[in-house]
Amino acid sequence: DVKVTQSSRYLVKRTGEKVFLECVQDMDHENMFWYRQDPGLGLRLIYFSYDVKMKEKGDIPEGYSVSREKKERFSLILESASTNQTSMYLCASTPGGQGAGNTIYFGEGSWLTVV
Amino acid sequence: DAKTTQPPSMDCAEGRAANLPCNHSTISGNEYVYWYRQIHSQGPQYIIHGLKNNETNEMASLIITEDRKSSTLILPHATLRDTAVYYCIVRIQGAQKLVFGQGTRLTINP
């Protein structure tokens, strides 16, 4: 089974802190994603990466950056956390290629509260 | 982007088949239909996907109409653990991203 692991399930951080959310997948997938999920807004794509050291902005990249130094690991960084970044963050991965039949697998989610 | 329409909520008795409908009338010929579910506080779980033929796996069956404008997810013998929000999604080409709608909140009753 595909496993997408997010290192922290629940975090509480202070405004202005730098926050790292880590994600690791064990299926040698090329593509990895970071979403955030908020009530009434559904899942929104923050960033995605289709290869090591490559990244693309999603729909809401402002206030976030990402890092992909190794194929299996994709990190989301909040340079200076703000209260409006309180949310559930979801990491996902999928095999490479443009085939629409490739399934996207999600991690368990990281609940971030910024106070 | 093709959009989907699902009923906001449904109930089903434990042990019965749960049939979840989805309308995707603007789907393109090469777009797949995906189903995910999300149990509270967890990440979305992949269930099944299909293009135009009906599909079955160990979790569910997917019935897609011949014109591809709608589909039905069938959980053949629903259990209490199937209580979740179920999302029907049309896969957008190119960007590899999924666009989730509001989904159907399915409640399985004992």
pLDDT at site A40:
80
Residues of A in contact with B31 (CB under 8 A): 100
Q: How many CA atoms lie within 13 A of B107 on its CB side?
A: 6
The answer on pLDDT for B11 being more than 90 is yes
- E strand segments, B9-67: 9-13, 18-23, 33-38, 45-50, 55-56, 61-64
pLDDT band at B30 (very low <50, low <70, confident <90, very high): confident
Residues of B in contact with A103 (CB under 8 A): 34, 46, 49
Non-local CB neighbours of B90 within 8 Å, separated by 6+ positions: B1, B2, B3, B4, B24, B27, B31, B32, B33, B34, B99
Selected for mutation to probe chain A from B86, B87, B96, B104 (highest A CB count within 10 Å) is B96
Q: Which of A90, A103, A111 sits opposite B46 (nearest CB)?
A: A103
Selected for mutation to probe chain B from A106, A111, A112 (highest B CB count within 10 Å) is A106
* pLDDT tens figures, B43-66: 999 999 998 889 999 999 999 999
A98: left (phi over 0), alpha (psi -120 to 50) or beta: alpha
B30, A100: Cβ pair inside 8 Å?
A: yes
